[in-house]
Structures are given as C-alpha cells and as structure tokens.
Amino acid sequence: MNQSLPSNASFNYTIDRDWGEPPDQDQFRECAAVSVDSEDNVWVFNIPTKELLQFSNDGKLLNVWPDRFENVHGVDFDTEGNIYIVDRNEHRVLKYTPKGSLISQIGIKGQPSDTGYSLDKGRETNWRDPVERSGHPFNVPTGVRIAKNGDIYVSNGYANCRVHRFSADGTLIQSWGEPGKSNPGEFHLVHGLYIDSSERILVCDRENNRVQIFDIYGTFTEMWQGFAKASCIHEGPDNEYIITEHLGRLSLLDHDGNIIMRWGNGNENSIFPFPHGCAIDSKGNIYIGHVTSPGAPVGSGNRLVRLSRQ
C-alpha cells in the first residue's frame, strides 16, 4: 500500500514500501548502498544476502552481481558505464566493467591504514570520539563519486577522517581532512559524499551532524548544519537534495541548503527508522535504504522504499 507524505505544490510524494522484486522478498531487509545509473536503473546492496542487486526503474530485477561482499557502502558509474564499488570492510574501491569483470582496485584487501581506530572500536564506543589521526587510503571507506573529468573521490570513512581524490587510473592526487568536531575540514565519521551539478563536493560529516561543502580541489566553501547524523546525500533533477539522517529523518533541501521539508522525528520510532543510502532518479523519485539499530541482528531492519514523485 502506498502512503502519502506531507508535501507542497512542487514536491509531492507517496511512499511505496514494497517497491522492487528481489530474488527473496523475506531477505530483502537492509540496504546500505543505493545508487541510480544513467538509465535510471536502481542498484541496491542487500546486507542479509550480501548481494548487489540491479533493478529497472519499475522494480523488475535485472541482475544479481556475480561477486558477494561483506558490506558495499557506495556505488557509482563513469561515462563508459564502468561500476565503482566501495568494499567497506575490505578497505578498497573496486572498478568493474558493466558486465561484472574486475578491471582494477584502489586499496589493498584487508589492509587498513593506521589511524588508531577501527570499525570494531567505533562500534564498541558508539562512535563517541573521532579517530586519533588521519591516514592514507583506506580505513573503512564509505562512498565513491566520479567527477566529470574522470577523477575518483572517496569518503573515508568510519575509521578515518579524510576525502581522497584519485585520477581515473587510480593514482592518488590529494587527500584532505583531519579529526575534529568544529572547524571546516575536521571530520567525525565521514560518510556519504556527492558531486553535484555545480561540481561541489558535498560530504556528510555524520557524527558532527553537518554537511561540509568543498570545490573539486578540496577547498572548503560552506557548511550546512542541524542534521540528526547526516548519512548520505543525492541531488535530484530540480536541484533538490535528499539527505538521510541516521537517527530517523529525511531532509529535502534546495541548492542553497534551505530546508524544503522534513519527514521523520529523528529517532528509531520514525517513519524512516535508520535511513542510510539514498538516490534520486531523473524523474525525481527518491530511493531510501535502511539499516538496523546498533546491535540488532542482521535481517531485522526495514527494506528499501521508494518515494514516488507525483
């Protein structure tokens, strides 16, 4: 059953909680990464089955990726249709052909950089403190986006405090970010990032409840604040931005960061409990993947939902 959301004349949505036809409906429960390609196909990583699923825009299953992963946290595409996958737990970014053949990787499987931190330490402390020090790529990376010129930007991440920029061939060009709680360029759990239509790099600084914005060279330009753990961000066809807030809220913003509307009350009893990944297709439909609360068993969370724009 579809459910209407509070809306306005320009942005009017209904929620489809049964969108998508996966191989196993009962196991389609927790979706970390969500992305949309140039043909409006929807890519979703399903945590319980460790599968990367590709759906058509009407929800038909097109493909199950041949490789399995412990946790994919980001997916993006270059102009040739190659797929970039953030293999979070193995500390690497993988580049595949459209048919699933591995081309290259950035990072060494199973070898995190030294930041005095780890995924386990963050979970044990509930992410109370930033990492001890910044590190090279990667330590639990979280997101990837490909710029118009082919440069690769990676957010890093749960156990680092940096954004890394690589050339198209995977050569590291620059890194920026330091651990901290207040100043521009300081991060506490760098989560999703997005390159928008103005070529701004928007970075979700999750535990600092803000989005920091940089130019393509890593120069800080502005900051949007007041979020309940900003997790991921994506731009839509009318220069609107959806932000998933991990504590249980979605925010829709305009190009200047002004709030258009919000849904959810910022806790686990929200209409959107623990929203995580997000994407918007060319028609303005929004896709939201959910994860579970800390310590909850795998498979107990909410599935992917679609906010269909009317």
pLDDT digits (tens, 9 = 90+) for 258-288: 999 999 988 778 899 999 999 999 999 999 9
Secondary structure string (H, E, C) spanning 98-125:
CCCCEEEEECCCCCCCCCCCCHHHHHHH
Read off the pLDDT of residues 204-243 as tens digits, 9 standing for 90 and up.
999 999 999 999 999 999 999 999 999 999 999 999 999 9
Q: What is the model's pLDDT at position 8? A: 85
Q: For residues 159 and 118, is the Cβ–Cβ distance under 8 A?
A: yes
pTM for the whole thing?
0.97
Domains of the chain: 1-68+229-310 (no CATH), 78-225 (2.120.10.30)
Among 62-76, 87-101, 259-273, name the one with the lowest average pLDDT: 259-273
> Which residues contact residue 218 at a Cβ distance below 8 angstroms, ignoring those fewer than 6 apart?
163, 165, 174, 176, 201
User: What residues pair up with 193 in beta bridges, in sequence order?
Assistant: 203
Which carries the bigger pLDDT value, residue 1 or residue 253? 253
Q: What is the mean pLDDT of residues 128-144?
A: 98
Residue closest to 306 by CA, chosen among 5, 12, 17: 17
Q: What is the model's pLDDT at position 3? A: 81
221-260 in b/e form (b: 16+ CB < 10 A) is eeebeebbbbbbbbbbeeebbbbbbbbbbbbbbeeebeee
DSSP characters over 242-291: EEEETTTEEEEE-TTS-EEEEES-SSTTSSS-SEEEEEE-TT--EEEEE-
Q: What is the mean pLDDT of residues 137-157?
A: 98
Q: What is the model's pLDDT at position 125? A: 96
Read off the pLDDT of residues 4-34 as tens digits, 9 standing for 90 and up.
887 887 999 999 999 999 999 999 999 999 9
Which carries the bigger pLDDT value, residue 152 or residue 8? 152
Q: Give the rounded percent of residues in the chain with a pLDDT score beyond 70.
A: 100
| Mean pLDDT over the full length of the chain | 96
Residue closest to 96 by CA, chosen among 116, 71, 76, 70: 76
